[in-house]
Amino acid sequence: MHYVKPINSRLYKMHKFAAHMKTHPFAILLVILCVSLYQEAYTQARAPGSIHNIQVEGRVHYGFFMHHHREMEVFNRHFPAFELSLQKSTFGANRWEVLYQYPLVGVALWHSPLGSIPEIGEAFAIYPYINYPLNNHKNRSINFRLGLGLGYLTNRFDPIENYKHFAIGSHLNAAVSMYFDFRFKLSRRLRFVAALGLTHFSNGSMKTPNYGLNIPTVNAGFSYFLRAPNPYLDRRLLPELYPFEFDGKKWFSVELSGAMGTKDMSQQLGERFMVYSISANLLKQVSGKSKIGIGLDATYDASDKSIVERKNIQYNHDWQLIKPGANLAYELLMQKTSFLFNLGLHLGSKEKTEGDVYQKLAIKHLLTEQLFASVTLTAHFGKAEYIGFGLGYRFDFKYY
C-alpha cells in the first residue's frame, strides 16, 4: 500500500497531535475507574493489624501472541514479560470479601518487550486486581485473578510512519489480566506462585484499528509478607450488616441509565461519530453475589446515517436509525462495585450491518445508595463497537 505524506508537515503534525488528544478523556476515565475499583481494598487499611497482611510479589512470564485475525499472523513471536505487585490479604471488613472467600487485592506493574518487533514496540501496564480463591486450604490454594487497568504501547498504527502496525491505533489502552493462579506456602512469610492466563490490550474501538493484542502466558514467582502475617488473620470478621449490601429480604430493582461515547470510523468513513444510548433493567437479587433480570435499551449511532446513505437504503427520518433492543441481564456484586452482563437482540433499525445479536459488559460503581456511574463496552459477536460512559439511578422495591 502506498501513502503520500501531506505537503505541509506542520499541518500533518497538528493533525497527529489533535488525534492523540482525543484519547485523553479515555485515559482519564479509565484512571477514575481504576481508583474506584481499588477503593474497596483501602478500606482494609483501617482494620487493626492490616499492615501485617501486605505482600510484595514478583513474577516472570513467558508467552506469545494469540492472533484472532489472519493478517496479524505476521507478528508471530515468543517473548518474556515481568510483573511486580503489591497486595494484601482481606479478612472480612466488607461482606463481599466473606462471600468470595477472602480474596487477595492488589495492584500490579507489568512490562514486556513483545518480541522486540519494531512495528509493535513494547507494552507497559498498571492495573488493580482481585485474586479469588477457588478452594480453601491452609497451605495451598487455586485462585482466579482478574485485573483491569491502563496499558501503554510504545508504538501504534500510523498511516505514514507505522502502517504495518495494524493491531491498535492508540498508545493508551485498557489492559485486562485474567489468570488461574496456584499458591503454595513455603514458610510463614514466603509463598511460591504460578499461573496460566491471558493479558489483553484494547481501546474499545475509540481509535481504529483495534484488533487488540492477546497474550497468553505461563508465569511463576514468589510472594513475601513485608511483616509477619497478622496472627489474627484466620479470625475472620463477619459483621451482621454492611452498607450497600443484600440483607436477605426479597427485593427487585429498576435501573434507568444513559450513556454516551465516541466511535472511531476514520478507517472506513473518514471521521469519528457520537453514540448515545438509554437503558432500563429489571433486576432481582438472588444472593449476596448475584442479580438476574431482563433489560430494554435504545441506541443511536451517528455513523449509521453515513452507512445507509452509502448503501442507498431509503429512510424517512433519523428515528428509523435508532436500534431498540431487549436483553437478558446478570449482575455480579462486590459491595459498591459490580459487573453487569447483557446478552440481547436488536428489534429494529434500517442499519444492522453487525447483526442482530449484541453483548454488553458494564462496570458500575455506586456513588450513593441509588446513583451510579458506569463504563460500558458494547460488542457484536465479540467485536468491540464502542465504549459508553454514563450515569444511572436505581429504584429499589421490597415485596416481602
Average pLDDT, the chain: 81
Domain assignment of residue 194, yes or no: yes
Confidence (pTM): 0.76
- Write the DSSP symbol of residue 305: H
pLDDT of residue 253: 93
pLDDT of 31? 54
Per-residue pLDDT at 234: 52
Number of Cβ within a 10 Å radius of residue 108: 21
Residues 177 and 262 in one domain: no
As a whole number, mean pLDDT of residues 381-394 equals 87
Strand partners, 211: none
For the chain, give the percent of residues with pLDDT over 90.
42
325 shares a domain with 201: no
Asked if residue 208 and residue 259 are part of one domain, the reply reads: no
What are 135-157's pLDDT values in tens digits? 878 889 999 999 999 999 998 87
Domain span at 60:
9-225
**How many angstroms separate the CA atoms of 142 and 144, rounded?**
7
Among 190, 225, 260, the domain-final residue is 225
Please write the tens of the pLDDT for every residue from 122-132. Answer: 999 999 999 99
**56-104 tens-digit pLDDT:** 999 999 999 887 666 666 778 899 999 999 999 887 777 788 888 889 9
Question: Could you tell me if residue 373 is inside a domain?
Answer: yes
Q: Is 198 left (phi over 0), alpha (psi -120 to 50) or beta?
A: beta
pLDDT of 239 > 70? The answer is no
Confidence of residue 1 (pLDDT cuts 50, 70, 90): very low
Between 187-196, 227-236, 239-248, 292-301, the lowest mean confidence (pLDDT) is in: 239-248
- Examine the domain organization and report whether 164 and 307 are in the same domain: no
CB 111 within 8 A of CB 81: yes
Please report, for the domain that includes residue 279, its CATH number. Answer: 2.40.128
Report the CATH number at residue 49: 2.40.160.20
Of 52 and 164, which is predicted with more confidence? 164
Per-residue exposure over 335-367, b if at least 16 CB sit within 10 Å of its own CB, e if not? bbbbebebebebeebbbeebeeebbbebbbbbe
Q: What's the structural domain count of the chain? A: 2
